[in-house]
A and B are shown apart, each in its own frame.
Chain A
Amino acid sequence: MTVELGLSADQEAIAELFDGFFAKESPVSVARAAEPLGFDRDLWGKVVELGAPGMGSAESAGGGGASLSDLVLVAEAVGRSIAPVPLVDHLAALGVLDDPDLVAGDALAGVAVRPADADGVWRLVPVGAVTDVVVGVDGDDLVAVRSAPPMAAPLNHGSAPLADRSARQGDRRVLGPAAAFQPVLDRWKVLTAASLVGISEAALRMGVEYVMAREQFGVPIGSFQSVQHGLADLPVLIDGGRMLTHKAAWALDRAEPAADDWRLNDIEDGSTLASMAFLFTSEGAAEATHRSLHYHGGYGFSEEYDIQLLYRRARGWSLVLGDPADEHLQLADRLFGPVEA
């Protein structure tokens, strides 16, 4: 046997640990209570006790030395519970940061996924409202800036702790050239993709549970074939997205560079795969949460039911990067070569 597409025993243990942890500590009611900011300090404290913030950092820096392939399992668990903690962004940022307080989780880090504007401001940083350090591109440089987080966010679709953050004011460190940001962004895309797979799966479970319980015309609505088929499409998107995300993590974990040959569908480059995984799971999560909401009927639209929390986050967590059409075009450049200007 060669190809190994199952989880290792260690990975099974990681998945079980984090799924168990979030199921217990962060049922959906916790995310609901954390609205509108989308951050629960107590829950973060428990995440810190678990050692999760530094899990992917080097052991020499006091971290757990986990691979990105392992972190994917953590991110999926975060997604499944829509836990109101910026763990995905923190783990991504720690790809280039190893400050002891960040590794310990006493301070939080986030990623400015889009470069700073001309005024040196990173607009709508995904978890910028609550993180002490933000890493991102400012001009030609990759920089990390430590400053006091605003702890308030503009009201937004996914109840995410979005905020503008300065790339110039605060304790600013230049980490390298702007190009050094690519690995951080790749990590962010892969971990976000994993969290979107998690959210999709949670939406599917919620949908299946609902259609088995809800009766119309004297039978569970889950016995209607059109409802079944609408839900049967979702494992297709979930499994496909999960495989692609795992492959992206595997490719990024491998140190060796690898080339793509789209003509033969041999895609091995980590950045290409990260982009693919992010795009595919973004659409998948939008579809899964929407379908599940739809099969809840009017209740799905009501604030009281949980599916709307998932629906809004599926969009909120992915659209912070920008119009997916742009990401598709960048992927096209990567695969087919850029168009001459």
Chain B
Amino acid sequence: MDFSLTAENLAYRDRVRAIVAETVTPDVVDRMHTTGTFNSPELNLALARAGLVERAVPGLGKGDPIELYILFNELEKAGAPFDGLAIALMIAGVVQAVGTDEQKQRILPTITSGEALVCMGYSEPDNGSDLANIKTRAVRDGDEWVINGAKMWTTMAHEASWVILLTRTDPELPPRRGLTMFILPMDTPGITVDPVHTMATERTNATYYDDVRVGDEAVLGAVNGGWATMMVALSFERGVMGGTNPGVALLRHFADWAAESGLVESPTCRERLARMAIDNHVATLLTQRSAWIAASGGQAGLEGSITKVFAVEAYQKAARWCQEMAGPAGLLQFHQPGAAAGGFVDYDARHSPVTTIYGGTTEINRNNIAERHLGLPKAR
């Protein structure tokens, strides 16, 4: 095995680091937590203008495929608002993989320029883990499709130009075979967006689709082939585009505060900092493995599940430790005098619970590992 990055990789990484250092100012981070929108147009544009975005899109990028990992690993480690860009690039990857030439020409440039965001409409009020049974309907009407239904947790919908929408086109077929994926502009008449606020700072949305009319140009992948398109999207989501190294920023914030406050002299604290550093590095190596598999032409679905299960549980454990070690100062939020690590201790303790839920819950990932890796029978 060779864990070294090439000179070219390192140059790419340094360019990302430089842009992050320049654009992800404390104000930008503060705005992210005040607005709940984990996206920074300045960052996206700066990365795009430097040509670092297009080359990283899975399957499209001319760069070394490992660059996609480098990009999001750097953004995540820096605590940058990268969710908007991650979703956009993930969907760009899906369009590149299953879209028509016309779709690629119409949609991809808007994303790779760093301008357009995309939101993902998979989950519904009554279907989260059980996506195969979603109810949003798309019905053929002449040359058009008419879409009706409700989606829940449509993150970035309030900023996005595009939505990728999982619908049911044939209720007579078995659940997975009657689904179709669409990609349509968010300003299509009939779409409404309501904010959903969360217990951390992050904002998401409920979205509603009332007689939304689109043509065949909006069908992404095959009609009734929505599940296959969905699998492509999920393989990216559980791969290398952030979400598997949340502990790095936490360790940095907390260790700096522990040094300032003198807490770092406590052996308990030092042991836990060492444990956090180990877990962070394991999470990175597992993510690198997914990146390497993807770069060698494979799909890291299973390895992605393994990585996610590990990384987010380690992060939750770390967040809990930090809050305990900080004592009451760990209860104070951003902008409160005396808040541990400037409020990040409280923030990570509030944010971390969602990480075993979104992007496929830990139970769903364990089912995946048990069935596909261990060869155990379907669970009862």
Contact = CB atoms under 8 A, between A and B. Distances in A.
A268 to B, nearest CB: 8
Contact of A232 (B77, B275, B374): B374
A262 B367 contact: no
Interface in A228-269: 228-229, 231-233, 235-237, 239-241, 243-244, 246-247, 250-251, 262-265, 267
Interface stretch (B4-12, B48-56, B160-168, B317-325): B4-12
Interface stretch (B109-117, B207-215, B286-294, B351-359): B286-294
A1 B296 contact: yes
A247 B64 CA distance: 21
A208 B376 contact: yes
Nearest to A239: B306
A229 B64 CA distance: 36
A265 B245 contact: yes
Interface in A6-31: 6-7
A279 interface: yes
Contact of A247 (B1, B296, B309, B374): B1
A9 to B, nearest CB: 13
B148 interface: no
A224 B255 CA distance: 41
B374 A3 contact: no
B278 A265 contact: no
B174 interface: no
A4 interface: yes
A247 B285 CA distance: 9
A225 B379 contact: yes
A236 B376 contact: no
A332 B270 contact: yes
B277 A3 contact: no
Nearest to B303: A239
B277 A211 contact: no
Interface residues of A, number: 53
A333 B375 CA distance: 43
A225 B380 contact: yes
B292 A231 contact: no
Interface string B356-380: 0000000100110111011111111
A3 B4 contact: yes
A222 B377 CA distance: 7
A250 B1 contact: yes
Given A229-B366, A264-B77, A265-B245, A223 B3 contact: no
B264 A336 contact: yes
Contact of A236 (B270, B291, B306): B306
Contacts of B371: 228
Interface string B247-289: 0100110010001000011010011011101101111111011
A280 interface: yes
Contacts of B309: 232-233, 236
Contacts of A220: 377
Nearest to B5: A2
The residue among A4, A246, A262, A265 with the most chain B CB atoms within 10 A of its own CB is A265
B325 to A, nearest CB: 14
Given A235-B374, A328-B270, A3 B288 contact: yes
16 contacts: A1-B296, A3-B2, A4-B2, A224-B379, A225-B380, A229-B363, A232-B370, A232-B374, A239-B286, A244-B285, A250-B2, A262-B251, A280-B278, A328-B270, A332-B270, A336-B264
Given A251-B3, A265-B280, 15 more contacts: A2-B5, A3-B295, A4-B1, A5-B292, A6-B1, A225-B367, A228-B374, A232-B369, A232-B370, A233-B366, A239-B289, A250-B3, A262-B251, A332-B271, A336-B270
Interface of B: 1-6, 8-9, 64-66, 77, 245, 248, 251-252, 255, 259, 264-265, 267, 270-271, 273-275, 277-278, 280-286, 288-289, 291-292, 295-296, 303, 306, 309-310, 363, 366-367, 369-371, 373-380
